[in-house]
């Protein structure tokens, strides 16, 4: 059994309480939500924290999916399983269900949260790619108030985010635009593994024409821009195999994978291309079918 180094533990009873604790305890304090990244790191002694602030009691305050007319708001403590099982989310943004189905395993999904996933800022993490694809914005709260940052600003590098000391991520906001849909695809060596490469795509259409599109990639280097070159290439175009191929080529050219045990850089680049094409095609199929969520799933 792997055992962590000594640490102090406190349960936060409200967001304000958690922020107060973070301010008081300083840089050696960490929040724990689902704990599926932090606890293994503690057991492997890869992190040296002195205080653990457990925010699981904040699930009542921060665990929600609220559907507005022009915006969806997801509380940071919303569990993977809740995202997977939300019919509203599946109808509006099927990319969530696509991704959640291939994130880790049911045990992890029962506990892990969207806030924890984004704050871990692992470059292979799936929900960061989903939020990038959907151009989500993150609400970061501190004792002096809230600020809202784009994914591009939220993600500062591997395991580094815009959340400053004394702050916490509380909510994720996603704008709702008409005639859109989305999809996600992941290649993994085994069920539950981190992505070798994954891609998310969102498209919005006006009749046969694509009005906007974004692509988010995971595990192929930092990527939180939605790949504007793909958006430019697709806007105003009717979807064709050649267009998908062009988008795939742009995706491959705009990522920076490295070779590791999961695969070679060349292979990952190939997957960025292949999966970009697959997810764009599926998202377009979904828009055209007029059903946002329930078609075109794998299997």
Interface positions with another protein (CB under 8 A): 1-6, 44-45, 105, 187, 189-194, 196, 261-264, 267-268, 270-271, 274-275, 278
Least Å distance, CB 263 to another protein, is 3
- 34 vs 263, beta carbon nearer another protein: 263
Structure tokens at 271: 């997957």
CB of 191 to another protein, least distance (A): 4
CA distance 226 to 213: 8
Instruction: Report in angstroms how near the CB of residue 95 gets to another protein at its nearest.
Output: 18
Residue 66 beta carbon to another protein: minimum distance, rounded to whole angstroms: 33
124 or 181: CB nearest another protein: 124
Residue closer to another protein by CB (options 15, 41) is 41
Q: Can you give 39-51 as a three-state secondary structure string?
A: HHHHHCCCCCCCE
Choice between 34 and 63, CB closer to another protein? 34
Beta bridge partners of 153: none
Q: How far is the CB of 50 from another protein (least distance, A)?
A: 14
Q: How far apart are CA 296 and CA 291, in angstroms?
A: 10
**Identity of the residue, 144 or 240, whose beta carbon is nearer to another protein in the bound complex:** 240
CA–CA distance from 88 to each of 17, 127, 279, 283, 284 (Å)? 31, 17, 21, 17, 19
Q: Which is nearer to another protein, 106 or 236 (CB)?
A: 106
Distance in angstroms (rounded) separating the CA atoms of residues 240 and 246: 10
Q: Which residue has the tokens 């699981």?
A: 56
- Bridge partner list, 32: 54
Q: How far is the CB of 193 from another protein (least distance, A)?
A: 6
Helices (H) and strands (E) in the chain, counts: 13, 13
Q: In this structure, are residues 104 and 81 in contact, taking their beta carbons and an 8 Å threshold?
A: no
**What order of strands is seen across the sheet that includes strand 197-206?**
180-187, 197-206, 209-218
Q: Could you tell me the CA-to-CA distances from 192 to 128, 151, 203, 285 in Å, in that order? A: 17, 25, 27, 27
* Residue 45 C-beta: closest distance to another protein, Å: 8
Please name every residue paired with 56 in a beta bridge, in sequence order, or none if there are none: none
Cβ distance to another protein smaller for residue 189 or 235: 189
Taking the complex as a whole, the smallest distance from the CB of residue 213 to another protein amounts, in Å, to 20
Q: How far apart are the first and last CA of the chain?
A: 38
Of the pair 180, 216, the CB lying nearest another protein is at: 216
Query: CA–CA separation, 19 vs 52, rounded Å?
Result: 13
3-state secondary structure of 121: coil
């Amino acid at each position: 059994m792997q055992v962590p180094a000594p640490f102090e533990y406190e349960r936060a009873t409200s967001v304000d309480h958690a922020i107060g604790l973070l301010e008081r305890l300083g840089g050696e304090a960490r929040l724990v939500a689902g704990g599926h990244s932090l606890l293994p790191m503690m057991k492997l002694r890869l992190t040296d924290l002195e205080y653990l602030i457990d925010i699981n009691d904040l699930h009542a305050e921060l665990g929600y999916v609220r559907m507005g007319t022009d915006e969806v708001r997801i509380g940071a403590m919303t569990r993977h399983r809740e995202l997977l099982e939300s019919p509203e989310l599946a109808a509006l943004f099927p990319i969530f269900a696509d991704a959640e189905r291939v994130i880790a395993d049911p045990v992890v999904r029962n506990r892990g949260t969207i806030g924890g996933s984004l704050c871990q800022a692992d470059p292979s993490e799936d929900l960061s790619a989903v939020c990038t694809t959907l151009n989500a914005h993150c609400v970061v709260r501190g004792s002096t108030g809230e600020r809202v940052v784009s994914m591009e600003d939220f993600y500062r590098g591997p395991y580094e985010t815009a959340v400053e000391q004394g702050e916490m991520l509380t909510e994720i906001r996603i704008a709702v635009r008409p005639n859109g849909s989305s999809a996600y695809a992941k290649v993994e060596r085994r069920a539950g593994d981190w992505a070798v490469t994954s891609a998310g795509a969102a498209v919005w259409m006006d009749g046969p024409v694509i009005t906007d599109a974004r692509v988010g990639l995971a595990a192929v280097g930092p990527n939180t821009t939605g790949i504007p070159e793909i958006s430019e290439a697709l806007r105003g175009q009717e979807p064709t195999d050649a267009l998908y191929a062009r988008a795939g080529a742009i995706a491959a050219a705009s990522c920076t994978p490295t070779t590791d045990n999961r695969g070679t850089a060349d292979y990952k680049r190939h997957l960025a291309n292949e999966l970009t094409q697959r997810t764009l095609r599926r998202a377009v199929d979904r828009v055209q079918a007029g059903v946002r969520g329930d078609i075109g799933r794998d299997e």
